[in-house]
Amino acid sequence: MNLDSENSDIDVSIIAQENEITLLNTIADAIESCKSPYFQISRVLQARIPLISIVDTLADNLQLDLSIWKLDKLEIAKVFEAYLSIDERVTPLIYAVRVWSKARKINNAYTGWINSFGWTVMVVAFLQINSVVPQIEELDLTKEKQDWQITNSSPVGVLFVQFFEWLLAFDYEKQRISIRHGGVTAKEADKFTDDVVFCVERPRTPYQNITRQVCHRTLKVIRKEWKRVLRLIEQGAKFQDLCAASDTHKLN
């Protein structure tokens, strides 16, 4: 979807009918059998989406996450491609948020943060609320270009600021982010089997939280990061200042 930089990690999925755990173990075993000192293999097989992570120490620790592709991912990819085609502001806004979140080290689901997919869904929800993109049901995935009457003409920089203002005002205790419902809807925590401290619903799967790994401690840090963005912008900071490298966050 053209949302990554040259320093981004690589996500690869295999479309296969075999049992995903068995197939991932077979691939990991094959790589480890090469006995290369330059590849570090981690197996994350108990997650909802099992994967193996491969780090190439010769390529500045480039990380590749390999998973087995599920059919709903194909549809989700088409949904986001449709959103990117609607308005030229969508791609740079998502890209900016993802770059910022990675620089500030709050973009990693395995350590309790929000991953790039989660941040992307959050941006799309914000754009729905602000009449830049439509609800999923209004998309025609058979068309290369979507027919949508855009009523919001705010530049990307303004939308970037408003995104963080919206997040800080978002009532995460009573609401969930859902692009199936135009951006935000009632939380309905009792209908989820996941943890729902902060809830971003999977686009095509009702009552599945893609930010289930976020706990009260990590959410507290994330909210501090949102406040930091707005504070620095108010002080006249540039985007590169917002993305200044962060030390590992202390979770008290």
Considering the domain architecture, whether residues 96 and 205 belong to the same structural domain is answered as yes
Q: What is the rounded distance in angstroms from the CA atom of residue 26 to the CA atom of residue 55?
A: 17
The model scores a pTM over 0.75: yes
pLDDT > 60? residue 2: no
Name residue, tokens 């200042």: 241
Mean pLDDT lowest among 38-42, 57-61, 206-210, 238-242: 57-61
pLDDT of the residue at 10: 81
Say if residue 19 is in the same domain as residue 113: no
Least confident segment among 116-130, 140-154, 217-231: 140-154
pLDDT band with cut points at 50, 70 and 90 for residue 167: very high
On whether both 79 and 115 belong to a single domain, the answer is yes
**Dist CA 128 CA 108 (whole Å):** 25
Range in 78-92, 113-127, 140-154, 231-245 with the lowest mean pLDDT: 140-154
Mean pLDDT, the chain, as a whole number?
90
For residue 132, is pLDDT > 70?
A: yes
77 and 50 housed in the same domain: no
Task: Please give the share of the chain, as a percent, with pLDDT higher than 70.
Answer: 93
Residue that wins the pLDDT comparison between 3 and 11:
11
CA atoms within 13 A on the CB side of 164: 24
pLDDT band for position 18 (50/70/90)? confident
> Do 150 and 130 fall into the same domain?
yes
**Residue that is written with structure tokens 């009918």 in the block:** 17
Coil, strand or helix: which one is 41?
Answer: strand
Same domain, 151 and 214: yes
Q: What is the pLDDT of residues 194-222, one digit of tens each?
A: 899 999 999 988 999 999 999 999 999 99
Q: Per the structure, how many domains does the chain have?
A: 2
Which CATH number do you get for residue 237? 1.10.1410.10
Q: Looking at the structure, do residues 57 and 100 belong to the same domain, yes or no?
A: no
For residues 42 and 223, give the distance between their C-alpha atoms in angstroms, rounded to a whole number: 30
More confident residue, 77 or 164: 164
Same domain, yes or no, for 30 and 112?
no
Residue where a domain stops, chosen among 69, 94, 115: 69
- Give the pLDDT mean for 140-156: 86
Maximum CA pair distance of the chain? 57
Q: What is the pLDDT of residue 111?
A: 87
Region label for 107, one of left (φ > 0), alpha (ψ between -120 and 50) or beta (otherwise): beta
pLDDT of 104 higher than 80:
yes
The yes-or-no verdict on residue 4 having pLDDT over 60 is no
On whether residue 5 sits in a domain, the answer given is: no
Is residue 189 assigned to a domain? yes
Distance CA 215, CA 219 (A): 6
Boundaries of domain holding 160: 72-242
pLDDT of 71 reads 63
pLDDT at residue 49, rounded to an integer:
76
Do residues 62 and 76 both lie within one domain? Answer: no
2 located within any domain: no
